[in-house]
Amino acid sequence: MKKFFLLFAAVLLAHTAANAQTETPDPLQVRSWAAGCANCHGTNGRAEPGNESLAGANKDDMVKKMLDFKAGRKPATIMHQLSKGYSDAQIIAIAGYFAAQKK
Which chain residues interact with ligand HEC by CB under 6 A? Answer: 36-37, 39-41, 52, 54, 62, 65-66, 76-79, 82, 86, 94
- Inter-CA distances, 34 with 5, 45, 52, 73, 94, Å: 23, 8, 14, 23, 6
| Least distance in angstroms from the C-beta of 72 to ligand HEC | 12
**Long-range contact list for 65-70, CB < 8 A, 24+ apart?**
66/91, 66/94, 66/95, 67/9, 67/91
Between 20 and 36, name the residue whose CB sits nearer to ligand HEC: 36
Question: How far apart (Å, rounded) are the C-alpha atoms in residues 82 and 101?
Answer: 21
| Least distance in angstroms from the C-beta of 45 to ligand HEC | 8
Between 5 and 18, name the residue whose CB sits nearer to ligand HEC: 5
| Least distance in angstroms from the C-beta of 17 to ligand HEC | 19
Between 13 and 37, name the residue whose CB sits nearer to ligand HEC: 37
